[in-house]
C-alpha cells in the first residue's frame, strides 16, 4: 500500500501527532509512505494565471514544486490531508497547494485513479473549528473524485500536544483506533465511488460535451472515453 500525507504546517503539534497515530496503525512492512510538509515542500502562492487550466499543469509557473506532490497523490492508495484550524479554516499553505491542484477537480481534468482511492482528513483546534477544516479538506478530495473519505477532527483545548489533558488524549487514541480499523478494512477491498460522486461526474460529462472554452479539458475527457459513456470506475 502507498500512503501520501500532506502536512499543512511545519511544526509537530496536535494535528501532526494524530497523523502519526494513524500512520502507526495503518502501515506495515510493505507500506510506502510519502510525506510533504508545507510550505517547505510546496509551491508559492497561486498567481491566478489560468495556465494549468488552459495550457496544462506543466505550464504552471510553480510546476516544479507542484508536480512531485501531484504525482505522489496520483500514485497513492490512501491520501491523508492534515491541517490545524486557523480562523475556522485550513492553513494558508495548505490552501495554496489546493489552489494549485484545482485543475484536477472533476470540472476540469480529474485523474482516473482518484475514483478508486481513499482519503482521510485530520484537523485539531485549540478551541473550536476542527470540524469545519475537515469538511473543507474533504471537499477537495470529493472534487478530485476520491471514492471514500473519512474526517477526524479534535478540539483539544490546548495550544500544544504536550498540554493536552491525559483524558483528552485517551479519547483521541480510542477514536483513532476505531477509525483506523475501519479504514484498513476498507482498503482490503476494491473501492468504488458513491452515488453522489457518480452524479456529479455525469453533470461534468454534460458540461464537457458542450465545452467551447477549454479544449485542453475537453480533449482530456475525450481521450479517457468519458464523453461517450465511459467512466473511471
Angstrom distance (rounded) from CA 156 to CA 146: 28
Write down the pTM of the prediction: 0.96
pLDDT band at 111 (very low <50, low <70, confident <90, very high): very high
Q: What percent of the chain has pLDDT over 70?
A: 100
What angle do helix axes 166-187 and 14-26 make, rounded to 10 degrees? 40
Average pLDDT over residues 118-126: 98
In 3D space, the residue among 48, 32, 202, 43 whose CA is nearest the CA of residue 110 turns out to be 202
| pLDDT, tens only, 130-162 | 999 999 999 999 999 999 999 999 999 999 999
In 3D space, the residue among 118, 123, 110 whose CA is nearest the CA of residue 180 turns out to be 118
Mean pLDDT for the chain overall = 97
Amino acid at each position: 500500500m502507498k500512503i501520501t500525507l500532506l502536512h499543512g504546517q511545519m511544526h509537530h503539534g496536535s494535528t501532526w501527532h494524530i497523523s502519526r497515530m494513524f500512520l502507526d496503525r495503518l502501515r506495515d512492512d510493505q507500506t510506502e509512505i510519502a510525506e510533504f510538509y508545507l510550505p517547505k515542500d510546496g509551491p508559492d502562492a497561486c498567481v491566478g494565471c489560468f495556465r494549468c487550466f488552459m495550457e496544462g499543469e506543466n505550464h504552471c509557473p510553480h510546476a516544479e514544486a507542484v508536480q512531485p506532490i501531484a504525482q505522489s497523490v496520483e500514485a497513492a492508495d490512501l491520501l491523508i490531508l492534515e491541517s490545524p484550524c486557523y480562523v475556522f479554516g485550513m492553513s494558508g499553505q495548505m490552501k495554496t497547494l489546493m489552489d494549485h491542484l484545482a485543475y484536477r477537480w472533476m470540472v476540469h481534468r480529474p485523474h482516473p485513479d482518484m475514483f478508486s482511492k481513499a482519503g482521510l482528513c485530520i484537523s485539531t483546534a485549540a478551541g473550536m473549528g476542527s470540524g469545519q477544516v475537515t469538511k473543507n479538506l474533504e471537499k477537495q478530495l470529493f472534487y478530485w473524485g476520491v471514492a471514500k473519505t473519512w474526517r477526524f477532527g479534535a478540539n483539544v483545548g490546548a495550544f500544544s500536544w504536550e498540554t493536552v489533558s491525559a483524558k483528552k488524549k485517551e479519547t483521541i487514541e480510542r477514536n483513532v483506533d476505531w477509525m483506523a480499523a475501519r479504514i484498513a478494512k476498507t482498503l482490503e477491498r476494491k473501492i468504488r465511488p458513491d452515488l453522489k460522486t457518480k452524479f456529479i461526474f455525469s453533470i461534468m460529462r454534460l458540461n464537457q460535451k458542450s465545452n467551447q472554452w477549454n479544449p485542453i479539458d475537453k480533449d482530456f475527457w475525450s481521450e479517457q472515453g468519458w464523453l461517450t459513456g465511459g467512466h473511471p470506475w
